[in-house]
Amino acid sequence: MNKTEPRIPSHLNFIAIEGVIGVGKTSLCELLAESWNGRLIFEEVDENPFLPKFYEDRKAYAFQTQLWFLLSRYRQLSEAVVQQDLFHRITISDYLFAKDRIFANINLDDDELQLYNHVAGTLEAQIPRPDLVVYLQASNEVLLRRIARRGRPYEFNIDPTYIGLLNEAYNHFFFHYDKTPLLVVNTDNIDFMSDRGDLEEIVEQMVNIRSGVTYYQPLRSRDKAAINNRRTPEK
């Protein structure tokens, strides 16, 4: 970002970036942390020993995978609250603890879900809520392209139907989400990793939100160029 980037508002101390697998939430976290000298909390995806087996056989390994993630997320966020950080003004996480229920509702059977909800409810009550949640949206096709591009071996067996289910479940969850201020960003036509303008526009939206839900539909790069060309006076 450039020298005119918005400062971190005083009301933002903890931000969670969310979205379906492959949407770019971790990348956005890294860019924000670099710009704002933020403390990062990354979901421990690669450390979950059940995840590769889950993608091969979802039914057989769903509960183990889900419980491992639940406890890992609880430990991370609990430690983040207890351990004060004098060197970072803001904490940025690439997940929202409450969204764990999305996966549980999709992947667990009734008995497993009942036990999961009992454990999750106890743990969630002890986790602080973010000051802002940013939900990055993308179509199924875009998500699958981004997953293939990053080339993680254990994701090679991801069923496209499962991505569709996740995407629908995420949209439903955040359509009804009202626990914190929420920014919903459609990322189909932007690339904030390579286009600093796209990143700056997302940040501008973030710092201006105080309450409620804001939906942000960025313009395509070529549409921006066309608008700028129209604004440029002819010589």
Q: Which amino acid is at 115?
A: L
* Residue-wise pLDDT tens digits, 218-230: 876 555 554 444 5
Which pLDDT score is estimated for 87? 72
Q: Are 52 and 154 in contact (CB under 8 A)?
A: yes
Task: Provide the percentage of residues in the chain whose pLDDT is more than 90.
Answer: 62
pLDDT at 110 over 60: yes
8 located within any domain = no
Separation between Cα atoms, residue 59 and residue 61, nearest integer Å: 6
- Please name the residue that has the structure tokens 């409450």: 98
7 located within any domain = no
Catalytic residues, which ones? 94
pLDDT at 89 over 70: yes
Which pLDDT score is estimated for 81? 67
pLDDT at 70 over 90: yes
1 located within any domain = no
Which pLDDT score is estimated for 4? 45
The CATH number of the domain where 117 resides is what? 3.40.50.300
- The range of the structural domain enclosing residue 34 comes to 14-231
Looking at every residue in the chain, the average pLDDT score rounds to 87
143 located within any domain = yes
83 vs 168 pLDDT, higher one: 168
Domain count, the chain: 1
